[in-house]
Chains A and B, each alone.
Chain A
Amino acid sequence: MDYVQEPVLSVRNLNKQYGGGCLNCRGAKADRLIKNFCPVCGTVYACRDVSFQVYAGEILGVVGESGSGKSTLMECLYFDQEVDGGEALISSYKNGEANLFAESSQQKRYIRNHMMGKVYQNAALSLKMDFSALGNIAEKLIAAGSRHVGRMETRGRELLEHVNIPSYRMKERPKNFSGGMQQRVQIAKALSNNPPLLLLDEVTTGLDLSVQASVLDLIKTIQRELGISVVIVSHDLSVIKMLADRTFVMLDGQMIEHGLTDQILEDPQHPFTQQLVQSLL
């Protein structure tokens, strides 16, 4: 593949830590950490100088072991967490010249409502459990400016059908849904405003194989039809293999390897990646 065009999203030196740090760990003293953890003060360095780019219409995979910082990265990109450093630019916003992390919270909300969609690992973070499934989808549509009930309901039904929520349960509250159902409502919600950029954190975790397949299919179809860009996080390499054009690998908050997905699967360089690929075989 050939990526001559401008990236849709570019992230440079994103840093995120939990905890204030101490004399032992402050500065770039990576050698004094146990993995991403400072044994003296307990600070976790969840993302360390992560840089990458996403191009129009591509699916970028992120893999890494549990605790390597994948969810934190996605939370930073969706402004759920304040970053401690770095910048992110998206081409559809201010000509790709404004660091999103430095924008006002009102602007961040605008970007989120109009230019992004996200599926969380934990559905409770994105769904209003006490509003109907349709209402949840409408929330995103309303936020993006829609004021037409009929059109929102039609769109909601269409999306929920896509993710196999039966139409007789669409007005029910996700609180009464199974984990997998909640996950599917989330996907429908994230897709509702046709965002140019979709962030997926462990979308298929907790789904049975047939639903998993249909969800992956759905993502693939939507991405192809709408030409949107997707960042998909998973610790399941088979998901990545099926969807991602390019992939990068995270370990202890750092990006240790990146390239075309096929390349990484066939010829992993880093010992950790090798181990990961081994386990897939």
Chain B
Amino acid sequence: MGYVAVKGGTLAIEESIKRLKYERLKKGTVLECARIEGGMRALIDQVMSEGSLYSETLAAIAIKQAEGSPEEAVFLLKAYRSTLPRKHYSCTVESTDMFVERRISASFKNIPGGQILGAAHDYTLRLIDFALQDETDEGAVRWLNRFESEKSGIDVQGADLDNLPKVLDVLRNEGLLLPCGDNDREPDDVTKESVQFPTSRSQRLQILTGGQTGAVTSLGYAALRSFGALHPTVGELRVGNLPIYVGSLLGEGQAEEDYYYIGDIKVTEAETIFPVTVQKENGRKEIEFGIGYGMCYGQNETKAIAMSILDRCLESGDAGYPVYDEEFVLLHINSVESTGFISHLKLPHYVTFRSELDSVRKTRKGKGTVGEDEGERP
């Protein structure tokens, strides 16, 4: 019998994974996926948006498996997504077809169709509600019944919720928005073809919408606060359900009636307005409005607004600030990429470090220069 390799690695890993399961179960309670779907709406929306995969069920399982870590849950969803064959592209959606649940504008008080506050944390007092400790399923049902009966009393005054006009059309009709025709070019699919710089707008929007919520927010904030000097106004923020259709499987050139309705997705859409100076004839300058666009799966309002700011920055592409640099923004906001690369530092680097050590030792023995530049990596 010969020598055999020490199976230390495999064994240690098995134990570590067991330990992880223990941590998840050690209080002797199990979190049901249905309860995650019921009570963790915001986390589910965040995970679906960063995971670029719309499925509340899968998101709930991922959150359970990840013990609530969004970074880990997004990772699970994205990896799962890689195994899915892509059979269809959906038809273009128009956000005017959205069944609106919430819709606000910061630019006009009276907007056609009216402001609809819907469900939002914005207006709550951020005081911990200790009563939640004693909440029961029965209590919840009682509250729901009461809510339903009150609601049927209120008439939603004639508002046609799945056909609300866009606030920006008001500005567009006045000629105050920079004109833009419909761009009917097929979007570039960033999951099929790797991104090359300079990017197209469709590529930018896809990467931004899948960005890590915190990263998108922080970069958008930087552009707003000082490194970009932008002063946007939220033209319209809407949250609601969008119907999704796919074309017939039989080929091209079909009429709209032949589209298949495959379900609704909840999205947040933000359109922000930025004053832009335009050079006119004879050296005259005018201010017009440019827009930034953000759309995310689920109710992710801060992210959608921040995305619209970054969209604006990357569209204008002024150098000078990093948030206007598409490589800087787009290559660093993906959660799986950033967390992955940072966490790989935990992997053994014995060989590489040994090699580095050799260089450092040589420097010590050698004739490194004196009194000159610090030893940075050139």
Q: Are any A and B Cβ atoms less than 8 Å apart in their complex?
A: yes
Identify the A interface with B (CB < 8 A).
22, 39-42, 130-132, 135, 171-173
Beyond A40-B281, A40-B282, A41-B281, whether A131 also contacts B378 by CB under 8 A is: yes
Identify the B interface with A (CB < 8 A).
279, 281-283, 369, 372-373, 378
A173 and B281 within 8 A (CB): no
**Which residues on the B side are within 8 Å of A135 (C-beta)?**
378
Beyond A130-B378, A131-B378, whether A171 also contacts B283 by CB under 8 A is: no
- Cross-chain contact of B372 among A22, A41, A171 (Cβ < 8 A): A171
Beyond A130-B378, A131-B378, whether A172 also contacts B281 by CB under 8 A is: no
**Which residues on the B side are within 8 Å of A130 (C-beta)?**
378
Cα–Cα, bound, A130→B378 (Å): 8
The 19 listed contacts between A and B (C-beta, < 8 Å) are: A22-B281, A39-B282, A39-B283, A40-B281, A40-B282, A41-B281, A42-B279, A42-B283, A130-B378, A131-B378, A132-B372, A132-B373, A135-B378, A171-B369, A171-B372, A171-B373, A172-B372, A172-B373, A173-B373
**Which residues on the B side are within 8 Å of A131 (C-beta)?**
378
Q: Apart from A39-B283, A171-B369, A171-B372, what 16 extra A-B contacts exist at CB < 8 Å?
A: A22-B281, A39-B282, A40-B281, A40-B282, A41-B281, A42-B279, A42-B283, A130-B378, A131-B378, A132-B372, A132-B373, A135-B378, A171-B373, A172-B372, A172-B373, A173-B373
Cα–Cα, bound, A171→B373 (Å): 8
**Which residues on the B side are within 8 Å of A22 (C-beta)?**
281
> Whose C-beta in chain B lies nearest to the C-beta of A170?
B372
State how many angstroms separate the Cβ of A152 from the closest Cβ of chain B: 16
**Which residues on the A side are within 8 Å of B369 (C-beta)?**
171
> Whose C-beta in chain B lies nearest to the C-beta of A19?
B279
Cα–Cα, bound, A41→B281 (Å): 6
Cα–Cα, bound, A173→B369 (Å): 14
State how many angstroms separate the Cβ of B366 from the closest Cβ of chain A: 14
State how many angstroms separate the Cβ of A182 from the closest Cβ of chain B: 16
State how many angstroms separate the Cβ of B367 from the closest Cβ of chain A: 12
> Whose C-beta in chain A lies nearest to the C-beta of B371?
A168
**Which residues on the A side are within 8 Å of B372 (C-beta)?**
132, 171-172
State how many angstroms separate the Cβ of B46 from the closest Cβ of chain A: 40
Cα–Cα, bound, A42→B281 (Å): 8
Cα–Cα, bound, A135→B282 (Å): 48
**Which residues on the B side are within 8 Å of A40 (C-beta)?**
281-282
State how many angstroms separate the Cβ of B371 from the closest Cβ of chain A: 8
Cα–Cα, bound, A131→B281 (Å): 45
> Whose C-beta in chain B lies nearest to the C-beta of A168?
B371
Cα–Cα, bound, A171→B371 (Å): 10
**Which residues on the B side are within 8 Å of A171 (C-beta)?**
369, 372-373
Please give me the 10 A-B residue pairs with the lowest Cβ-Cβ distance, nearest first: A171-B372, A40-B281, A40-B282, A171-B369, A39-B282, A172-B372, A173-B373, A42-B279, A172-B373, A39-B283
